[in-house]
Amino acid sequence: MSLFRNIIITALIALAAALLFQHQLRDTATTAIEFAKNYTSIDSLFSLAAQTDKLVDSNHPNQDQHPASHLFATEMSTQRAIRKVILAIEQSEGAGARVRRSIGTPQLRNFSPFLMLDHFSIKPGAGFPDHPHRGQETITYLLEGGVDHEDFAGNKGSLSAGDLQFMTAGRGIVHAEMPRQNPDGSANIGLQLWVDLPTELKACEPRYRDLRASEIPVVDVDDSKVTVKVISGQSHGIDSVKDLAYTPVWILDITIRPGGKISQPLPKNWNAFAYTLEGEVIVGNDGQSRVVEQYNNIVFEQEGDVVNFSVDAGASQPARLALIAGTPLDQPIVQYGPFVLNSKEDVAKALYDYQSHANGFERAKNWESEIGKSMRG
């Protein structure tokens, strides 16, 4: 019976996808199914729980909240070891955008609660036109340029360099993310992180929280040879714990100048990684160090209290990295493109709901974004 049920579910998903493709082909060249294909791994339709690098302690509660007190590195702190280093290879994504993806590939399918990390570059004429989401949160951190946003509920907004947007898709949302046309024709560059939602929140109402660059506290470390933008979390006496994401996440933007070093505490049992945006950084100390170059994602083991970074005094440029940590969720992950649920049945339902404009997607019927017009011809 189990095999028969799986065959039926797979057939329903295929049928729903076919109907979705047929419908969108009539209305617009940019379809949810094309978007799903872009975000589905090349070797498998589904990202199943069996393929997930969750690193969850069985005695660990489903949601660890932010630490009650500030964390400091001490002589007793234990350094986290490197689990793996992943080079993010540039690839095409969306409609003409270029991304370097280091989470959400066969090398690192999922790293709970993290589903995907893209370092994107969007030039004029490219972007991410109308597409759906269900079951996850997205965090967009704009590094250069500007990006406009619009959704089927009438929400509109813009991000400038240094700003962040936290979007909870919940039960369903359809939106567009399009770059501004910079006067010099330069690309709009940033990071987008997908974070899983706890099962009990996957059907919540969509919401947004914007964080402006001017609102982000900054702390200098090691005689100002290191600067940390504390987007969310704690660092060297600065606490920046805001109601930004349902799943607790720390995000630190760290710049290390030649000769600088930093020892950064992390919450116990959280999964953590560091993506190198610029330069090369020395990870670790005490004879357990490794030099990591630009565009690499450093994935840490779960055991340990701190991570250590430094830049050689003779380096020609500073290093910049995004250090991100989050509480792992002890739950299955089944992903089909922009739909992230807990079972194949849930995915089939998401496809059906999107096609039939039901259960969260009612406002998608006949909706087209203004900012995506240029991509529709």
pLDDT recorded at residue 375: 76
Domain assignment present for 77: no
Query: What's the pLDDT tens digit per position in 154-173?
Result: 999 999 999 999 999 999 99
Q: Whole-angstrom Cα distance, residue 72 to residue 240?
A: 15
Q: Is the pLDDT of residue 241 over 60?
A: yes
Torsion, CA 124, CA 128, CA 129, CA 133, rounded to 10: -170
Domain assignment present for 55: yes
Residue 52, token pair as written in the block: 């997930």
Confidence grade of residue 270 (pLDDT, cut at 50, 70, 90): very high
pLDDT recorded at residue 374: 78
pLDDT recorded at residue 28: 31
Last residue of a domain, one of 294, 310, 326: 326
pLDDT recorded at residue 181: 86
pLDDT recorded at residue 47: 37
Domain assignment present for 75: no
Whether residues 21 and 168 share a domain: the answer is: yes
- CATH assignment of the domain containing 284: 2.60.120.10
Q: Is the pLDDT of residue 5 over 60?
A: no
pTM: 0.84
User: Do 307 and 81 meet the contact criterion of CB atoms below 8 Å apart?
Assistant: no
Last residue of a domain, one of 291, 311, 326: 326
Q: What is the DSSP string of 283-343?
A: E--TT--EEE-TTEEEEEPSS-SEEEEE--TT-SS-EEEEEEEE----S--EEETTEEESS
CA distance readout (Å), 230 to 49, 220, 253, 362: 32, 11, 7, 38
Confidence grade of residue 303 (pLDDT, cut at 50, 70, 90): very high
What average pLDDT does this structure show over 110-114? Answer: 95
Q: Whole-angstrom Cα distance, residue 377 to residue 368?
A: 13
The larger pLDDT score, comparing residue 57 to residue 364, is at: 364
Q: Which domain holds residue 367?
A: 2-62+88-214+330-376
Phi, psi of 108 (to 5 degrees): -150, 90
pLDDT recorded at residue 354: 97
Q: Is the pLDDT of residue 19 over 70?
A: no
User: How many structural domains does the chain have?
Assistant: 2
Whether residues 34 and 114 share a domain: the answer is: yes
Confidence grade of residue 34 (pLDDT, cut at 50, 70, 90): very low
Phi, psi of 233 (to 5 degrees): 120, -150
Spatial CB neighbours of 88, under 8 Å, sequence gap ≥ 6: 100, 101, 102, 117, 119, 275, 295, 296, 297
Whether residues 10 and 157 share a domain: the answer is: yes
Q: What percent of the chain has pLDDT over 70?
A: 82
Whether residues 305 and 358 share a domain: the answer is: no
Whether cis (ω within 30° of 0) applies to the bond prior to 113 is: yes
Whether residues 203 and 120 share a domain: the answer is: yes
In whole numbers, what is the pLDDT of the chain averaged over residues?
A: 86
Domain assignment present for 111: yes
pLDDT recorded at residue 23: 39
Whether residues 290 and 343 share a domain: the answer is: no
> Residue written as tokens 């349902």?
246
Confidence grade of residue 348 (pLDDT, cut at 50, 70, 90): very high
> Residue written as tokens 């940019």?
30
Whether residues 256 and 266 share a domain: the answer is: yes
Q: Is the pLDDT of residue 299 over 60?
A: yes
Length of the chain: 377
Whether residues 349 and 310 share a domain: the answer is: no
Whether residues 94 and 163 share a domain: the answer is: yes
Q: Is the pLDDT of residue 219 over 80?
A: yes
Domain assignment present for 78: no
Domain assignment present for 29: yes
Spatial CB neighbours of 185, under 8 Å, sequence gap ≥ 6: 123, 124
Whether residues 196 and 103 share a domain: the answer is: yes
Whether residues 357 and 260 share a domain: the answer is: no
Query: What's the pLDDT tens digit per position in 50-86?
Result: 334 444 433 333 445 677 678 877 778 999 999 999 9
Neighbours of 144 (CB within 10 A): 14
Domain assignment present for 67: no
What average pLDDT does this structure show over 132-160? Answer: 96
Whether residues 220 and 364 share a domain: the answer is: no
Last residue of a domain, one of 302, 326, 350: 326
The larger pLDDT score, comparing residue 38 to residue 367, is at: 367
Domain assignment present for 40: yes
pLDDT recorded at residue 10: 54
Q: Is the pLDDT of residue 100 over 60?
A: yes
